[in-house]
Structure formats: structure tokens, C-alpha cells
A and B are shown apart, each in its own frame.
Chain A
Amino acid sequence: MTQTPAPTRRAKSGPPLRDEKLKQRRAEARTGYAFLLPWLLGFILLTAGPMISSLYLSFTNYNLFEAPKWIGFENYTKLFQDDRFIQSVKVTLTYVVFGTPAKLIAALAIAMLLNSKRRGRGFYRSAFYVPSLIGASVSVAIVWKAMFGDAGPVDQILSFFGIGIGGWVGNPSMTMPMMILLTVWQFGAPMIIFLAGLKQVPAEMYEAAEMDGAGSVRKFLSITLPLLSPVIFFNLLMETIHAFQIFASAFIISNGSGGPAGSTMFYTLYLYLRGFGDFRMGYASAMAWLLLIVIGIITLIFFKTSNNWVHYSGDEK
């Protein structure tokens, strides 16, 4: 008699308890979704949706006014007969291949300087980081254009040393070095990441190496670089992807024309000109997807080859 109520009570009280928990979990989920909603809507409306429509448009002839006409792979095949497209690929690859390593070397060098204990460290760190904060802005590109212009400070200083090249901005063979210098100057973001990486290198390792008689070059090659390799990998990947997308500075320096003589016709700039200048949205979409695919492939190659040179701590191989 006395045993029976217990199970019933348990049976009775059990479900409400589970209900309670379930309700609570559902409420939590609802709150979660509610908080997620703005992002989710944004993603669907502003990213996923346009991406899908862009993929569709890349197979069409679309001039913004009339309904898109399906033309299959014509946009993609046309690309490879387009001299200006080939030019834009060349310009962009030159920029990526020379600009990115130069930027990373500068970032690492300055990071190592700032890692040592000296006075005013905080100030220097901020000062070196500032250019990358304002780097993408229009004003910097304008200032840069003025600096490298005819009779600008750069030309004057070089002339003082007897290397007068004249203005860089109007000289097709000097615009690429100028663009690369501009990106190198914006080394702040990778520098900060390098600094964080350098902080992780145990001081004892350097001390041990010193006791074994290693010089600073040896220490750099055998300790700093290998231990920093994951950070280098990260920076290399990010900066490469970033470099492929250069647009604003090229647009400003060439007044949106990609000139002089096509020397700053970067991929994204040409894409933009095709889309909004010539109303060839299908063509521009095809270019955008091609860029996505190429960046995807390059990222994949980076990851595949990274096993050979990136060392993670605790990773014994």
C-alpha cells in the first residue's frame, strides 16, 4: 500500500519536470534564434541570396535594365580572349607575388624590434599600427598620390640623391612599385599578430641556445621562425586573400581608370568597370566567381603544403 504512491508520484511528477526542462530549453532556443535572426536574415538576404543570383547571372547576359539572357559559359570563355582581363590578371598576380611577402617581412621585422624591451614601446606599437587602420581609406590613397606625384616629396628626396625618376603616378613602370610600397606601409595588422606570436616563444629556449653558442641569425632561423610558423601561415593566407581584393587604392590613384596605360588595372577594378561602367553584370559576375574559385584553390594549396613547414607545439612528427 505504501509502496504504490511512490512510483505514481514519480510517474506523475516525472513528466511535468521533463516538460519544464523541455519548455525551458525551447524558450532558450527561441531566444537564441531571436538573437540569431538579424544575422541570419542578413546572411540570407545580403550574402547567400546575392551569391546565388550572382552565380546565375554569370551564365547570362545582363545589362541591369532588361531581363537576363541565358548564354551558358560564354562569359567564362570570353574572359580568356579579353586582353584587358589578361592584363588585370597579370597586374594582380604581380601585386600579390611581390607585395604580400614584402609586407610580411616588414611586419615581422618591425614586430621583432618592438618585441624587445625599450622605452616608448607602446607609442611605437600604436604608431606603426595606425597606417593599417586608415589604410583602406580614400584619404590615404590621395595623400599617397600626392607624395609620389611630380615634384612630390618622394621625387624631391630621390632627386637629392641623384635618382630623379620624376613623378611615379604617371609612369606606367613605377605605379606597381608604388602600390606595393603602399601595401607594405600598411603592415600594422600582421605586425600585431606577429607580436602576439613572438610573445609565445619561451625565453628559456633563447637562453639555452645562447649557452650553446648560437648567434642571433641562428636563433632566428632555428627558434623564432619554426615556432612562429603557424602565425606566419595565418598571416600569409590572410594577406594573400586580402591582396587579391585590392580595390580602393587602385581606384583612387588611377581615378578609376586603371591607368596609366593599364598598369593599375587590378582584377577587382576591372570587374567593377565591367559591371558598373559598361553595364555588363553577367560578365562581372563571371569574373567574381572566377576570383572566388582561384582564391579557393590557392587557399587549398596553402593548406596542403603547410604540413611541410608549419609546426604546431605538441605536434610530434
Chain B
Amino acid sequence: MISRRNFITSIATGVAATALLTACGGSDGGGSAGTVEKPTVINYTWWGNDDRAERTNKAIALFNEQNPTIKVVGTFTDWAGYWQKRATEAAGGGLPDVMQWDLSYLRDYAQRNQLLDLGDIGIDISGFDKTLLPSGQVNDKLYGLPAGTNAFAVYYDPAKLKEIGVAEPTGKWTYAQYQQFLTDAGTKSGGKYYGSTDFSGIWWLFNIYLRQNNIPAFTADGKLGFTKADLNAWWSMNSDLRGTPAIIPAADVTQLLPKSPFGSNKTVSEPTWDNFMGGYLADSGAKELNMVAVPSDDPDNLGLFLKPAMLMVASAKTKNKDAAAKFIDFMINSPEVGEIFKTTRGVPASKTQREGTTFDGVDAQVVAYEESIAKYLTDAPEPPIVGFGTLESEFLRIQEELNYGKVTVDEAVDQWFTSAEDVISQNS
């Protein structure tokens, strides 16, 4: 009984607290400009680790110094708690003025009128590549601006490959060659390392695979663009590899959380976003890690794209549009902010910021990778359908059951489609 009460109380307190906070915010006097004595206060929230917190606080301090009439108050949580907080705030009508955002949730909130149209509130968007802006647009309105971009890559550890006598990949490879590489790495190391995690559990890699085959992930009217057969083909691809040294067992992956198997030195490679480099180096203690492009059976179509690593958005109900716009502009365009974050938010998305930032070491590697794949890049994906967050976590969960041998590929595909159809019917 207490759980129910706690559950409800938490909603109620959340609502009450946000109501209280907005009430306080409101007494400030709407959108009127602040003064040095009484600056306009805006709230900014983000997810991330201590490193990002430190960098963000530096950026905020710099902004406050340059704009004495505005005071930015920052708070942050980890990813898991972030969206629950936003959901309760949205229910109470009191989202923070400015927020760091993810593509997965952009449509959910934009379509439900929770986010501010950033199109005409004085933010300079001239520095953005035209192919990148659609990923912040929902129904032709600009709700999110990318702070940085990331692209998908396959990481590998050159030292480990040398140790076990496997040649480094070149990034020009088919899926069969990629699987052979994983098998080689797993068998030649004699049990010391596995090849990789089961890459078929990663939604975004599946999305890339669909693009390689010219299949859209979602249709314009918010339905699935692919069939059960497509997903079946994808999940079947690794059927022979599961349980071999090519792929690390699901039990080990679970055990190592929150670190990844690659970061824990259990595998020689891992496919993921290119801005994870710093985290991998810190986790694994490796001196050097390299990135190559993802495999593709069509050498001219790698299906790769630049995705906003994170977006900046504002609350539709913010009382201080001008201050919020100024802060977003500062965060995405200022070269000084670029110097603070380097590539930890992805490679800076706006040209002004990117060109004003010096990259060296790991950051230079990330930038170099994105340059190396530039000719293969296609348009950034539009914000996925409403409820995409659920679909993505279901993808991972069901694929995990597959790896544990709890379900067959056919059952897994059926399960995911049942869940996806439920989500889509719920939100249409």
C-alpha cells in the first residue's frame, strides 16, 4: 500500500513543487528584462556525469559573467532519472526554461505543445548545416537545436589486436567480413577477449542497416517503415555467433554494467557513437583506441548520418523567452563554449563554434573520423515517432532475452512488433 501511496505522493509533490516554483518564477514579472541588481532568473537542466557537470558549470559561469542581467541556475541528473523528472514537470506545467534534450523524446514533447518554437526568437542558426536542422524540426517548426553531432562507428583496441595477432580493420567491410573479424578475435585470443557485444541489439545500428537497404525506419505518418521480415533478418544475422567467442555472453554484459564490455577490456571492439571515445579511454585505461566506419554490404551506401548528440530546447511555458534564447544562442554558437566542451557533446554542430574550437588528442580523432566519413553521410533522421523511447528500450530488452536464449528470433520479432503496435496505437 505504501508503494502506491509513495507513487501517488511523488506525483502530487512533483506537481505541487513545480506549481510552487512556477508561481515564484511568475512573480518576477513576465518577459521583462532583468537588471544587474535584479537579474532575470532562468533554469537550465541537463543529464550527464561529473565531467559534463563541471564543463557545464564553467559555461554557465561564463554566461552569467557576460550577461549580468540574466542569471542561469543549473541542475543535472543522470540519464535514467532525467526523463521521469521531465515527465512530472510537464504534467505540472513547469518544465525548466532551457533543457538539454534527446532526439528520442523530441517528438513526444513537441507534438504535445511542451516545447518552444525556436524559429523566430532571435537565435542565430546561420552556422548550421542545412541537412542537420530537420532533426530538430517537428511539423515544420524548429523545436530543438543540436549542440553537437555524433556519428556511428566501430571502435577497436589496436594493442589488443596486436597481442592476439589479428589485423586491424580498415572500415571497408561487409557484414560477413565484420563477423569473421569478431570470430577471429574471439578464437585467437583463446578466451581472453571476446569479439564484441551482440551488435544486433543496438537500435541505431539496425537503423543504419535499414538505410543501407533503403528502407525507412518510420513513415511520415508515424508508422513503422519496415516489416517483421526485416527485423527477423537483422536479428538472425548473429544467430550462429551467439554463444561463440565472437560475442560476449549476455550474463557478462549485465554483470559489467554500467561499464560496457569494451570499456572493461572484455572485448576487442564495439560499435557505438563516436563521442564515446573519452569515456572508453577512461574506463579501459587503454593508451589508444581507433574508430572505423560500420560494415555495409553496399560499399557506396554506408547508411551513416550525423545525429544531434544532444539538442537544446526551451519550455513552451517559459516566462523569459529572450533570456532563454540568449542562453541557447550562447551554448550552441559561442567558440568559448566550444573550448569548454570540446567533443564531449559531440563535434560542435554550429560552424561558428566548430571553427572557433581547437581540437587535439582524442577530440581531434573524433573530428577526423567525422571528416573521413563525410562523403557517405546522408540526411540526419527526423525526430522519430512519439513513444520512440519505449520502442528503443524494448528493442534492447527483447534482444537481451534473445541473447539469454529465452526466446527464438521469431518470438523476439513478434514480441517487439506487438509492443511497437501498442505504442503506436496508444499515441495516434
Q: Is residue B244 within 8 Å, beta carbon to beta carbon, of the partner chain?
A: no
- Given the contacts A49-B12, A65-B112, A241-B1, A259 and B254 also touching, CB distance less than 8 Å: yes
Docked pose: A66 CA to B90 CA in angstroms: 10
Q: Is A271 an interface residue (CB 8 A)?
A: yes
Name the B residues within 8 Å of A279 (CB-CB): 87, 108, 387
Distance in angstroms between the alpha carbons of A63 and B400 in the assembled complex: 27
Most buried by B among A49, A61, A261, A281: A261
Tell me whether B58 is interfacial, beta carbon within 8 Å: no
**Contact B7 A272, beta carbon cutoff 8 Å:** yes
CA distance A63 to B415 in the complex (A): 23
In terms of DSSP, what is the predominant structure of the interface of chain B? Answer: helix
- Would you give the shortest CB distance from B12 to chain A, in whole angstroms? 5
A171 at the interface (CB under 8 A from B): yes
Given A150-B255, A170-B254, A277-B390, are A268 and B3 neighbors across the interface (CB < 8 Å)?
yes
Residues on the A chain within 8 Å of B13, using CB: 46
B366-401 interface code vs A (CB 8 A; 1 in, 0 out): 000000000000000000000101100100010011
Q: Is the beta-carbon distance between B390 and A278 smaller than 8 angstroms? A: yes
A262 touches B401 (CB 8 A): yes
Contacts of A280 in B (CB 8 A): 426
> Chain A residues near B9 (CB, 8 Å)?
46-47, 50
Q: Which residue of B4, B87, B415 is within 8 Å of A64 (Cβ)?
A: B87
Most chain A beta-carbon neighbours within 10 Å: one of B11, B252, B415, B423: B11
Assembly CA distance A305 to B387 (angstroms): 47
Once the chains bind, are B4 and A291 in contact (CB under 8 Å)?
yes
Which A residues, 74 to 125, have Cβ-Cβ distances below 8 Å to chain B?
A: 83
> B3: which A residues are within 8 A, CB to CB?
244-245, 247, 268, 271, 288, 291
Determine if B397 and A257 form an interchain contact, defined as CB atoms under 8 angstroms apart.
yes
B8, closest chain A residue (CB) = A50
Q: How large is the interface on B (under 10, 10 to 19, 20 to 34, 35 or more residues)?
A: 35 or more
Which A127-160 residues sit within 8 Å CB-CB of chain B? 149-150
The answer to whether A169 and B254 have CB atoms under 8 Å apart is: yes
> Closest CB of chain A to B29's CB: distance in Å?
28
A188 within 8 A of B: no
Residues 33-83 (chain A) with a chain B CB within 8 angstroms: 45-47, 49-51, 53-54, 61, 63-66, 83
Contact indicator A167/B393 (Cβ below 8 Å) = no
A292 interfacial contact with B, CB 8 Å? yes
Q: How far is the CA of A272 from the CA of B415 in the complex (A)?
A: 21
Partner among A169, A275, A277 whose Cβ is within 8 Å of the Cβ of B255: A169
Closest approach, in angstroms, between the C-beta of A297 and any C-beta of chain B? 13
List residues of chain A with CB within 8 A of the CB of B87. Answer: 64, 276, 279
**Residue A255 interfacial (CB < 8 Å):** yes
Q: Is the pair A292, B4 in contact by a Cβ cutoff of 8 Å?
A: yes
B114 on the A face (CB < 8 A): yes
Once the chains bind, are B91 and A65 in contact (CB under 8 Å)?
yes
A261 partner, pick from B90, B258, B387, B401, beta carbons under 8 A: B401
In the assembled complex, the CB of A175 is this many whole angstroms from the nearest CB of chain B, namely: 9
Contact of B250 among A260, A271, A276 (CB under 8 A): A260
B257 at the A/B interface (Cβ < 8 Å)? yes
* Shortest Cβ distance from B5 into A: residue: A47
User: Is B406 at the interface (CB under 8 A from chain A)?
Assistant: yes
- Whole-angstrom distance from the CB of B289 to the nearest CB of chain A? 23
Q: Indicate the size class of the contact surface on chain A.
A: 35 or more
CA distance A14 to B401 in the complex (A): 83
Nearest-CB distance from A296 to chain B (Å)? 8
Residues A172 and B426 in contact in the complex (CB < 8 Å), given A49-B12, A64-B87, A292-B1: no
Return chain B residues, CB-CB under 8 Å to A288.
3-4, 7-8
Task: Find chain A residues with CB under 8 A from B406 CB.
Answer: 172, 261-262
User: Restricting to B215-274, which residues have a CB under 8 Å from any CB of A?
Assistant: 250-258
Q: Tell me, in angstroms, the Cα distance from A257 to B392 when the chains sit together.
A: 13
A255, B3: Cα distance in complex, Å:
19
> Could you say which residues of chain B place their CB within 8 Å of the CB of A209?
none
Interface assignment of A195: CB less than 8 Å from any CB of chain B: no
- Cβ of A284 within 8 Å of any chain B Cβ, yes or no, is yes
* Per-residue B-contact encoding for A240-256, CB less than 8 Å = 1, 0 else: 01001101000000011
Q: Are B397 and A245 in contact (CB-based, < 8 A)?
A: no
Query: Most A CB atoms within 10 A — which of B87, B90, B406?
Result: B87
Closest partner residue, chain A, to B407 (CB atom): A261
B80 CB within 8 Å of chain A: yes
Indicate whether B24 reaches chain A with its CB closer than 8 angstroms.
no
Contact of A170 among B7, B108, B114, B250 (CB under 8 A): B250
Residues of B within 8 A of A197 (CB): none
Output the nearest chain A residue to B16 by Cβ-Cβ distance.
Answer: A45
Q: Is A226 an interface residue (CB 8 A)?
A: no
Residue B214, interface by CB 8 Å:
no
- Cβ contact within 8 Å between B8 and A277: no
B88 within 8 A of A: yes
Give complex CA distance A102, B250 in Å. Answer: 30
Instruction: Let me know if B404 is at the binding interface, CB within 8 A.
Output: yes
- Are B255 and A172 closer than 8 Å at their CB atoms? no
Contact of A46 with B90 in the complex, beta carbons under 8 Å? no
A255 touches B2 (CB 8 A): no
Give the distance to chain A from B31, nearest Cβ to Cβ, in Å: 24
Q: Is the CB of A295 within 8 A of B91?
A: no
A92, chain B: closest CB distance, angstroms: 11
List the A residue with the shortest CB-CB distance to B264. Answer: A150
Q: Looking across the interface, which residue of chain A has its beta carbon closest to that of B419? A: A84
Most buried by B among A241, A256, A268, A279: A279
Interface members, chain A 252-310 (any B CB < 8 Å) = 255-257, 259-262, 268, 271-272, 275-281, 284, 288-289, 291-292, 295
A151's closest neighbor in chain B, by CB?
A: B255
Interface residue from B1, B251, B423 paired with A295 (Cβ < 8 Å):
B1
Contacts of A45 on B, CB cut-off 8 Å?
A: 12, 16
Report chain B residues within 8 Å CB of A61.
Answer: 426
A54 and B404 within 8 A (CB): no
* B251 in contact with A260 (CB, 8 Å): yes
- Cβ-closest chain A residue relative to B255: A170
Contact among A83, A245, A262 for B2, CB-based, below 8 A? A245
B251 interface neighbour in A63, A166, A244, A278, Cβ under 8 Å = A166
State in angstroms the CA–CA spacing of A276 and B1 once bound together.
Answer: 19
Closest 9 CB pairs of A and B: A170-B251, A50-B8, A170-B254, A170-B255, A65-B112, A276-B84, A245-B3, A64-B91, A288-B4
Residue pairs across A and B with Cβ atoms less than 8 A apart, 14 shown, are A45-B16, A46-B9, A50-B8, A51-B5, A170-B251, A170-B254, A245-B2, A255-B80, A261-B406, A262-B406, A272-B7, A277-B83, A279-B387, A288-B3
14 additional A-B pairs beyond A46-B9, A50-B11, A261-B404, beta carbons within 8 Å, are: A50-B5, A66-B112, A149-B255, A150-B256, A167-B255, A172-B404, A259-B254, A259-B397, A260-B254, A261-B401, A262-B401, A279-B87, A288-B8, A289-B4
